[in-house]
Structure 1
Amino acid sequence: MKTALAILRGINVSGQKRVPMNELKHLFGELNCQQVKTYIQSGNVVFTHSATDEEQLARQIEQKIVETFGFQVPVLTRSLSELADIVAQNPFLQEDHTDIDKLHVTFLSDAPDALKRDKIKELAVGADRFALSGKEIYVYCPNGYGNTKLSNTFFENKLKVTATTRNWKTVHELLKMMQSLNPNTER
């Protein structure tokens, strides 16, 4: 069995695309996922599975959400080892005076192509900073995420990929949840 994280984009935000967590857990169970746990209401699901292709599993989850709830929701997945690497490689943690309450990770559906990556690195966004690494963007917003231009929509428009952001506390908690699912789970 493998341990995975599914990150759903845009559910339960301002009353939009309401998905009760108990129903979401049941939906994952119908797709042969086991040890399904959710974290807060914003679409974070950790689970174990035996699927050979996590990208195909993400598409099956998306289709099942459409069938069950009647709307499309992008689903991004990360393995336990991928999330552990994401946490370990945050470049902002190496800096003095980093306020971890101002750290976020934007998860991308795909690694952006080189031209788009190069163009976005040149953009100035005030005091806010970001570091692109593969399919993640580390975001540091000293004035708060609610005041930044570095939103999901900003990155989606510039990079032409699906994006969804979680704060650093949530990312850390999701990693702990994944690690606790099954000590014998393949990482």
Structure 2
Amino acid sequence: MVTTYAALLRGINVGGSRKVPMAELRTLLEGLGHTGVRTYLQSGQAVFTAARGDEESLAAELTGAVEDRFGFHVDVIVRDHAYLRAVVDACPFPADRLEGRQLHATYFSAPVDPERLAGIDAEAHRPEEFRLGDRVLYLYVPDGLGRSKLAEQLARPRVTRDLIATTRNWNTVVKLVELTRA
């Protein structure tokens, strides 16, 4: 069975470092035997189909291939269309009434124990809010991510320890659902 996936590469093409040209990423994925390869934006999203593997093995394979090709380690999360659709469907915030820069999803490589978030004083950060979902954290930041003190708290090692975490704005979240639709 062929499945369509999105690969989310963490921290590439930011500030001129860890450059991974999208054309080379497409070629790399095709070289791994994947088909229907497309990239979205320059910030590390690729869509592809695969007839073998699961999310974890595909992520590990791409992580190794990027390191071999570019000479540096990049964390990768791979998710299939059904999961990406479920993230959108489960959004606890009124996404249709918000700007894409106000709503974000942080994807995690594994489930997050809610205890990791227990030390964050949510009331102190209002009107910003967050909710934990299935391997995802939804973050509402009315003034954008760059100014968010809550986002800083959520990115601390206490929350992300032993996990890969990568954040996308809501426009990208929705676009990945569209791009992975078979």
What TM-score results when the alignment is normalised by the length of structure 2?
0.89
Contact 1:5 1:178 in 2 (8 A): yes
Taking a change above 3 Å as real, the CA distance of residues 3 and 150 of structure 1, as seen in their structure-2 partners, is farther
> Which deviates further from its counterpart, 66-75 or 48-57?
48-57
Residue in 2 that maps onto 1:149: 149
Q: How much is the aligned-residue C-alpha RMSD, in angstroms?
A: 2.1
Q: Does 1:30 align with 2:19?
A: no
Alpha-carbon spacing, 1:150–1:28, altered in 2? closer, same or farther (3 Å) = farther
Deviation readout 1:112-166 (Å, 9 max, x if unpaired): 2242144447574242111111210111101111101244784351321221111
Runs of 5+ consecutive residues of structure 2 not aligned to the other structure: none
Identity %: 36
Q: Report the more deviating stretch, 117-126 or 81-90.
A: 117-126
- Work out whether residues 104 and 139 of structure 2, in 8 Å CA contact, stay in contact via their aligned partners in 1: yes
- The SS at the match of 2:58 is helix
Question: Match for residue 107 of structure 2?
Answer: 107
Q: Does the CA contact (< 8 Å) of 1:120 and 1:158 recur in 2?
A: no
What SS class does the counterpart of residue 93 from structure 2 fall into? Answer: helix
**Residues in 2 aligned to 1:76 and 1:64: alpha-carbon distance in whole angstroms:** 14
Which residue number corresponds to residue 134 of structure 2? 134
Q: Cα distance 1:112–1:140, how it changes in 2: closer, same or farther (>3 A)?
A: same
User: How far 1:54 moved relative to its partner?
Assistant: 2.0
Match of 1:39 in 2: 40
Range that drifts further, 54-63 or 142-151: 142-151
Residue 104 (structure 2) pairs with residue 84 (structure 1): no
SS in structure 1 opposite 2:53?
A: coil
Report the AA paired with residue 109 of structure 1.
Answer: S
Partner of 2:65: 64
Mapped contact 2:81–2:177 kept (Cα < 8 A): yes
Q: Which amino acid aligns with 1:148?
A: S
Amino acid in structure 2 at the alignment position of 1:132: L
Match of 2:5 in 1: 4
Give the aligned partner of residue 116 of structure 1: 116
Say which is worse superposed, 148-157 or 80-89, in terms of deviation: 148-157
1:176 aligns with 2:157: no
Q: Which ranges of 4 or more aligned residues in structure 1 deviate by more than 2 Å? A: 97-101, 117-127, 149-156
Pair 1:4–1:146, CA change in 2 (3 A)? same
Q: Aligned partners of 2:151 and 2:43: how far apart in 1?
A: 16
* 1:105 partner amino acid: A
Question: TM-score, with normalisation over the residues of structure 1?
Answer: 0.87
Structure 1 letter corresponding to 2:107? F
Aligned residues: 179
The separation in 1 between residues aligned to 2:95 and 2:168, in whole angstroms, is: 20
1:185 alignment counterpart = none
Letter in 2 for 1:55: E
Find the aligned partners of 1:64 and 1:43 in 2 and give their Cα distance.
14
**Following the alignment from structure 1 to structure 2, what is the Cα–Cα distance between the partners of residues 104 and 51?**
30
Correspondence 1:93 to 2:94: yes
1:33–1:48 contact (8 Å) kept in structure 2 = yes
